[in-house]
C-alpha cells in the first residue's frame, strides 16, 4: 500500500501496551454479524432516529436486540450513534428512545449534543455515553471537561495528531477513541454546511449529500475560467488508512480503533476488519518482532474506494491529500458470494451468490479463521444438482467444488480488473 505521507515511526514516549478495541461500522444487521465474526470487538450502528447516517438501513429495536445477542456470543459490544445536533422538534420522544436502547442491551451511545448526553445519564443510566467526534475535541482540557461530566470515553476529532493524543493521555485518565480508517471530511470534520446550502439536507442531522465529492467548474465573476471547460474537479479528501502504523497508535494510548463506514458494503466491512484484526493481534503477540504483512495491505486495496493517506496523525494534510481529478473508485475485486455450508466428503460448498460469476473465472476465498486461497471456478450447479452456465441470480444458492476447506460466512470475491 502506498500512502501520500512518509511512513515513519512516531518518536514519542511509549505510554502503554494494552490491547486496543477494534470498533467497526454496521449499517444493517447482516453487516453487524459479519463485522463481529470477522474480528470486531465492538460495532457502532444507527437507530431510526438521532443518528448522522439517515441514508443507512439503520436498526429497529428488534434488530438491535438480535444484534446484541449475536455480539454477546463473541464477547463483543454494540454502540448506537445518537450524534445529531438536535433542533427543538427533535427532542420530543428522546427519553423513550434512550430507554428502549437501554432495554435492548446497547452498551453505549455516541453523542455530541449536551441535551442528549444529559438525558441519557438521567433516564438510561446503564448506557455509557461516549462523546462523538462531532464535538471536534482536540485538547486535554476539553477532554477533562467531558470526563468531569461523567463520560468515560471521548472520540477525538479526526484532526488530532499522535502528539496531541499522547498529551491528552498524559493529562487525563479517560478512554480515547480515534478514527483509524475510512473517509475523511474535506472541511473541519462535522462543520461543513455545503450540503445544507446546496440541497437543504442538514449534515448535522444525518442528511449530508457529500457535496465535496461532486464535480465542479471554476468561475470568476460569472465567467468560466479559461482552459477549465473540460477540467472539472472535486474537493474530496483521500481516505484514511493507518494499517501501516498500528504500533504508533497503540504506543500513544489510543484505546479504541474506529473504522468509518456505516454506508459501506458488507465486503468492505469484513475485509477491513479482518486486516486490522490480524495486524493488531500480531503486534500484541510479539511487539519486538512485529512485521507488517503484505497480504494485509493487499486486502485493504481490494476494498479501497479512494487513494489512501495517514490523515492528520503525522502532518497536516496538504493539496496532495485531496482528490481533484475524477476518481476511479472501483476496487479491483467484486464481492461474489458467501459460504453457506461446506461438505468435507465431496469438497463442495454451498455459496450464496452476491455478484455474477461463472465457470472459468478466478475467485478468491477469505475468512477470519485463516481461510485464504485462490482457485478457478469449475462447474456450477444449483442445490438440486442442475448444471448452470453462471451464478446469475442475487442470493441464489449454488454449489461449487473448492480446492481447500471453507467455513460458513467465509467470503468469495472475483477479480474485475
Round to whole Å and give the CA distance between 414 and 183. 24
Round to whole Å and give the CA distance between 12 and 169. 12
How much is the pLDDT for 85?
A: 87
Round to whole Å and give the CA distance between 31 and 272. 12
Cell of 18: 494494552
413 close to 336: Cβ distance less than 8 angstroms: yes
Phi, psi dihedral angles at 166 (to 5 degrees) = -60, -40
How much is the pLDDT for 2?
A: 40
How much is the pLDDT for 326?
A: 62
Domain boundaries, the chain: 21-190+236-323, 333-415
Round to whole Å and give the CA distance between 68 and 79. 9
Round to whole Å and give the CA distance between 61 and 97. 9
348 close to 401: Cβ distance less than 8 angstroms: yes
In 3D space, the residue among 249, 257, 220, 217 whose CA is nearest the CA of residue 233 turns out to be 217
In 3D space, the residue among 329, 306, 327 whose CA is nearest the CA of residue 182 turns out to be 306
Cell of 158: 479526526
Cell of 207: 442528511
DSSP 5-62: S------S-----PPPEEEEE-SSHHHHHHHHHTT-SEEEEEBSSS-S-TTS--B-HH
Helix, strand or coil for residue 85?
Answer: coil
Round to whole Å and give the CA distance between 64 and 57. 12
According to DSSP H, which parts of 332-407 are helical?
none
How much is the pLDDT for 4?
A: 41
User: How far separated are the first and last CA of the chain, in Å rounded?
Assistant: 17
Cell of 45: 450502528
In 3D space, the residue among 111, 114, 158, 115 whose CA is nearest the CA of residue 130 turns out to be 111
CATH 3.40.50.720 fits 21-190+236-323, yes or no: no
Cell of 318: 496538504
Classify residue 139 by its DSSP letter: S
Residue 91: C-alpha distances to residues 95, 149, 150, 203, 308 (Å) = 8, 21, 21, 18, 38
Helix, strand or coil for residue 91?
Answer: coil
Taking only the tens of pLDDT, the chain with its 417 residues reads 444 443 445 555 544 568 999 999 999 999 999 999 999 999 999 998 887 655 556 899 999 999 999 999 999 999 999 998 888 988 999 999 999 999 999 999 999 999 999 999 999 999 999 999 999 999 999 999 999 999 999 999 999 999 999 999 999 999 999 999 998 877 777 677 887 888 887 766 666 777 877 888 777 777 666 555 556 777 788 899 999 999 999 999 999 999 998 889 999 999 999 999 999 999 999 999 999 999 999 999 998 778 899 999 999 888 888 777 766 556 778 999 999 999 999 999 999 999 999 999 999 999 998 889 999 999 999 999 999 999 999 999 999 999 999 999 999 999 886
Beta-carbon contacts of 166 under 8 Å, excluding residues fewer than 6 positions away, are 12, 13, 15, 252, 253
Buried residues in 152-189 as b, exposed as e (16+ CB within 10 A): ebbbbbbbbbbebbbbbbeebebbbbbbbbbbbbbeeb
69 close to 58: Cβ distance less than 8 angstroms: no
Round to whole Å and give the CA distance between 280 and 272. 12
In 3D space, the residue among 42, 169, 55 whose CA is nearest the CA of residue 110 turns out to be 42
Q: CA angle 347-348-353, nearest 5°? A: 150
H-run or E-run covering 277? helix 266-285
Cell of 378: 469449475
107: alpha, beta or left? (left if phi > 0; alpha if psi -120 to 50)? alpha
Round to whole Å and give the CA distance between 243 and 257. 11
At the topology level of CATH, where does 333-415 sit?
Elongation Factor Tu (Ef-tu); domain 3 (2.40.30)
Amino acid at each position: 500500500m502506498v500512502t501520500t505521507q512518509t511512513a515513519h515511526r512516531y518518536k514519542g514516549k511509549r505510554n502503554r501496551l494494552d490491547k486496543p478495541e477494534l470498533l467497526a461500522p454496521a449499517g444493517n444487521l447482516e453487516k453487524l454479524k459479519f463485522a463481529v465474526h470477522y474480528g470486531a470487538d465492538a460495532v457502532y450502528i444507527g437507530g431510526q432516529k438521532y443518528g448522522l447516517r439517515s441514508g443507512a438501513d439503520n436498526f429497529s429495536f428488534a434488530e438491535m436486540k438480535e444484534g446484541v445477542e449475536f455480539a454477546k456470543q463473541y464477547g463483543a459490544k454494540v454502540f448506537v450513534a445518537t450524534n445529531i445536533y438536535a433542533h427543538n422538534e427533535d427532542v420530543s420522544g428522546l427519553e423513550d428512545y434512550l430507554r428502549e436502547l437501554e432495554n435492548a442491551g446497547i452498551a453505549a451511545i455516541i453523542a455530541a449534543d449536551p441535551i442528549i448526553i444529559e438525558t441519557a445519564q438521567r433516564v438510561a443510566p446503564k448506557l455509557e455515553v461516549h462523546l462523538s467526534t462531532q464535538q471536534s475535541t482536540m485538547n486535554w482540557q476539553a477532554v477533562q471537561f467531558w470526563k468531569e461530566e461523567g463520560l468515560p470515553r471521548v472520540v477525538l476529532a479526526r484532526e488530532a495528531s499522535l502528539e496531541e493524543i499522547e498529551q491528552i493521555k498524559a493529562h487525563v485518565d479517560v478512554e480515547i477513541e480515534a478514527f483509524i480508517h475510512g473517509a475523511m471530511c474535506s472541511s473541519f470534520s462535522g462543520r461543513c454546511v455545503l450540503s445544507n446550502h446546496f440541497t437543504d439536507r442538514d449534515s448535522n442531522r444525518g442528511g449530508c449529500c457529500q457535496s465535496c465529492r461532486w464535480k465542479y467548474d471554476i468561475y470568476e465573476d460569472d465567467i468560466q475560467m479559461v482552459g477549465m471547460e473540460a477540467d472539472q474537479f472535486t474537493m474530496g479528501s483521500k481516505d484514511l488508512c493507518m494499517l501501516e502504523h498500528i504500533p504508533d497508535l497503540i504506543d500513544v494510548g489510543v484505546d479504541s480503533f474506529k473504522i468509518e463506514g456505516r454506508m459501506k458494503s458488507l465486503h468492505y466491512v469484513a475485509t477491513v476488519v479482518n486486516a486490522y484484526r490480524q495486524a493488531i493481534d500480531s503486534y500484541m503477540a510479539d511487539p519486538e518482532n512485529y512485521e507488517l504483512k503484505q497480504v494485509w495491505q493487499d486486502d485493504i486495496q481490494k476494498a479501497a474506494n479512494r487513494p489512501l493517506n495517514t490523515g492528520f496523525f503525522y502532518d497536516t494534510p496538504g493539496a496532495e491529500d485531496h482528490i481533484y481529478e475524477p476518481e476511479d473508485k472501483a476496487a479491483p475485486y467484486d464481492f461474489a458470494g458467501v459460504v453457506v455450508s461446506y461438505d468435507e466428503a465431496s469438497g463442495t460448498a454451498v455459496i450464496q451468490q452476491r455478484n455474477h460469476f461463472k465457470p472459468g473465472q478466478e475467485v478468491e476465498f477469505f475468512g477470519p479463521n485463516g481461510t485464504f486461497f485462490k482457485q478457478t471456478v469449475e462447474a456450477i450447479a444449483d442445490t438440486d444438482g442442475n448444471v448452470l452456465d453462471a451464478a446469475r441470480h442475487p442470493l441464489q444458492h449454488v454449489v461449487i467444488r473448492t480446492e481447500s476447506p471453507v467455513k460458513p460466512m467465509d467470503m468469495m470475491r472475483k477479480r474485475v480488473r
